[in-house]
Every structure is written in C-alpha cells, then in structure tokens.
Structure 1
Amino acid sequence: MDDLRILHEMFKCFRALCCKGPPPPRPEYDVVCIGLTGAGKTSLLSRLCGESTDNIVPTTGIKHTDSPFFYVSTGADNIKKYWSRYYQGSQGVIFVLDSASSDEDLESARNELHSALQHPQLCTLPFLILANHQDKPAARAPNQIKKYFELEPLARGKRWILEGCTVDNMESVKESFGQLIGLLEDKETEPARI
C-alpha cells in the first residue's frame, strides 16, 4: 500500500513539474486566399484541413472555410472585382498560382499578384505565394516564378515567402504555412524571401 501511495505522490509531483495544464490557445489570424481559377486554392486548403479532394469542383462565388484562419475567394473574372471587400481586416495574404499554366494565364496571375501587393489594404501585410502544381511536367520552378513575376523589385521592403507546392505533398504546404504564421507573429521581422 505504501508503494502505491508513493507512486501516486510521484505522479502528482511529475504532473506539477511537467504538465502545467493545457497549452495556451493559439492566436487566430484572418488571412485572405486569392488566385486565378484553377490555381488549386480550394484543393490545397481542403487537404490542409484534412478533407478529401476527390469531388472538388472550381469554387463559384466566395467560399468561407470552416477554419477561422482562411477566407477563400474564387478567381473567376466576374468575382475578382469583389476581392477587395474581403481584404478589410485581413492580417495576411495567401496567393496561389498554377506554376504549370499557360503563358497567358501566368501573365494574368502576375498582374493580379502585382495588384494585390500594391493594394492599400494589403501592401503592409505578409504574403505567402504558393506556386502550385509543381508535380506537373510544365511547372515552372519557384526561382523562375520569382524572376518572371519581378518579385525582388516589386516586393522590396515587404514580408513575403514564395514556395513551390503540390496537393500531394502537404508537409511542404504545412511548412510554408508555418513560415507565414512566423511572419504574422513577428511583425518586426525583416522581409522574407525564397
């Protein structure tokens, strides 16, 4: 009986020293996710939330995910004019582009990213730029995207990250989101680059 009582006391001491209760709540951030139609915004965020991507169809209109972390907006031309309504109150931006898209679509993505980086409500926020579909043969590497999008001169002085990704490699996407969270938590950091 004494051994049991000693074990119980040891366990109480262990809990007092090592288990200081539940971890503190993680802060929540309002992050807007934008990009052209077909870039993979819904697929990436669905996979990140542990949902199946088997029956995903292009988002029409505006879609709010269950996670408080994201607002997802479609890239359809008739909806892009409403993107700025979702910028207010955002603390960060995720821009998803299809790195294997046609030259014409890549130019459109470039123009949209330039507009977002210069928008008064977004220009001071951290950006995570995801070059999606890196698993496709025509995919451009992140360094090619950086050069083509002229990110160095355009984003000088801003906090941004450019990463390649694919829906089949969620670990790299999670790492990218971890870097974005780091930028959100540390507002005094130097600008990030690839």
Structure 2
Amino acid sequence: MGQIFSNAWQKVFKYPRINIIVVGLDASGKTTILYKSKFGEVLNSQSLFYSYETVDNRELSIKSWDLGGSDRSISSLYKRFYENVQGIIFVVDSNDRYRIEDAYYELDKILKDNQLNDAVLLVFANKQDLPEAMKPDEIARKFKLYDIQGRNWLVQDSCACMGRGYGISEGFEWLLNEIHKKNERKFG
C-alpha cells in the first residue's frame, strides 16, 4: 500500500481491523484520493452510475462508493458498509458552490445513522487548487460541523491531483491517529 498512511499506520495494527468508508457526491475526488492512497498515482476515472473501489488487507479496509448522477436514493447503498465502521471520509469538491447544500444533505444523512455514531469524521475539502475553492472553515460552517458534539472531526484542505496529493497523507494520518486513540480507550 502507498506511503500515504505514514507513522500512524504502524500504531493501528495492534488493534482489530479498521473499517473506513469514503463517500461524497460524484466528481468530488473520492476515486482519485483512493487511487492516490492505493497506487500512489492518479488514474482517470468517471462514474456514469456508480463504481465501487476498495483498499483491503488484514488490518485495514477502505470502501469507496463513487456515485454518479443526482439520484439521492442511491446513497442508501452506502448502508451496506456501515457495520463496524470506525472512520468516515467525506470528500467534497470545494469549488462546487452550486452543490454544497446537496453535499451537506448527504453528509447529514450519513452522520445521523446510528451505526456510525462512534465513527471519526474526516472531510477532504478537495480541489483547493481552484481559484473559487471554499476554505476548510467555510465548509465546516456550511456542514454545521461546529454544532456536532461527541464526534471527532476535521476538515482537511486537499488537492488529490497535485504531486503526491496535497493534504491527503495529513488527513489520513489524522484519521488513523484519532481511531488509534479511540481504540486505546476501548481496548486498553
């Protein structure tokens, strides 16, 4: 697996398998981020309806649904993968102001699911290289994250297409460290 997981990677392996889901609207950069972490490079992809990608080994399972189109009912497919999820990665196109409310709606539905109450949330504010991109604080406000209690969250600025993936390794490291802390408390 790529070097995306750095030092946090070794800490998590003394605990049971970690399950992470990657979700968000179509064209936000989910697949690019996943390929960057899996292969260390950007592969061109486009979802006409939906595609499913995974990074899976003994210790870590990352599931990514890349949903095309605008049918909100398709997000119910995510629920198949909610069991035992410890981390949620929500990818948002920071430049897509037109659909930021749709992105909020999808994230809100995910966060309200009881199976995900204990999951740590990482929001990748992707496409920060674009001139009209919303900054992480603006996205946090639009997603009402400051109102959340009892859930660790971070909005990480990122650009999956730049070099090694600006902000990607920092986001994954934060997420894995937060999961590690929760596992320390849970498993001692």
Work out whether the TM-score is over 0.5. yes
- Give TM class, smaller chain: 0.7 to 0.9
User: Kindly tell me: are residues 24 and 184 of structure 1, through their superposed partners in 2, closer, same or farther at Cα, counting changes over 3 Å?
Assistant: closer
So what's the TM-score if we normalise by structure 2? 0.78
Match of 2:121 in 1: 127
Match of 2:5 in 1: none
Residue identity over aligned pairs, in percent, reads: 26
Q: Does 1:53 align with 2:53?
A: no
Match of 2:137 in 1: 143
- How much has 1:108 moved relative to structure 2? 0.3
- Unmatched runs of 5 consecutive residues or more in structure 1: 1-22, 190-194
Match of 1:102 in 2: 97
- In structure 1, how many angstroms separate the alpha carbons of the residues matched to 2:165 and 2:56? 17
Match of 1:71 in 2: 63
Q: Deviations for 1:4-28, whole angstroms, at most 9, x for unmatched residues? A: xxxxxxxxxxxxxxxxxxx899354
- How much has 1:47 moved relative to structure 2? 1.1
Indicate conservation of the 8 Å contact 1:116/1:123, yes or no.
Answer: no
Q: How many residues align structurally? A: 165
Match of 1:90 in 2: 85
Q: Which has the higher contact order (CA 8 A, sep 6+)?
A: 2
Aligned ranges 1:171-182 → 2 under 5 Å: 172-182=167-177
Name the structure with the higher strand share. 2
- Unmatched runs of 5 consecutive residues or more in structure 2: 1-9
Larger radius of gyration: 1
- How much has 1:172 moved relative to structure 2? 2.0
Structure 1 range deviating more: 176-185 or 23-32: 23-32
- How much has 1:127 moved relative to structure 2? 0.7
Indicate conservation of the 8 Å contact 1:39/1:97, yes or no.
Answer: yes
Coordinate RMSD, CA, aligned: 2.3
